[in-house]
Amino acid sequence: MKKIVIGVGIGIALLVIATACNSPTTRASAPTEQPAAATDQPTTSQPATTQPATYPPSTPSPTSAPSPTSSSRNDETSTVEAAAQFSPQVEMARDKAQSYLGFSAFSRNGLIRQLSSDAGEGFPKAVATEAVDSLSVDWNAQAVKSAESYLSFTSFSCSGLKQQLSSSAGEGYTKAQAAYGAGRTDACK
């Protein structure tokens, strides 16, 4: 089952990478196409060289840093920018981590364990740790998803669910994250 899930995750990661790699190229070519169309029209009063100046401010540059008010629409840009900041091995681990988070809930420790274990991806622990720590993840939200997942196939008491979420043999959430996740379920209400 994990091999199928990992295979799906790899496919998703490749799709995200391919999309991210193609996006800046498409954006960069748009301004060069517009001036060519403008020069074909003899009635245009503005010279073709003034139009491209209007395009760069409206299209994000793949090398510019995201603004502090960035929203989820800039996630792809952030991923492309982050690729330049990390070694290839860390970038691969980041992609795997994002893929795993796309289809399953993980604690920080659980995700590092998955990336660094021989049964998982086999990255060195330092690489897996750097990759996971470089991502912006709401670990409380991940704990809620894990708690709901457990309750979807078996019952737990509130304290049992917290223990399962925080156990190093279980999910590996911090006690605070486990309490938050369990507290948002029917088991603790």
pLDDT attached to residue 64:
39
pLDDT attached to residue 79:
53
pLDDT means per 10 residues in the chain (189 residues)? 44 45 40 43 44 36 41 48 78 98 97 95 97 98 97 96 94 97 95
Q: Say how far apart CA 189 and CA 183 lie, in whole Å.
A: 7
- What is the DSSP secondary-structure string of 28-75? HHHHHHHHHHHHT-TT--S-TTTGGGGSGGGS--TTSPPPTT--GGGH
pLDDT attached to residue 27:
38
Q: What is the pTM of this model?
A: 0.57
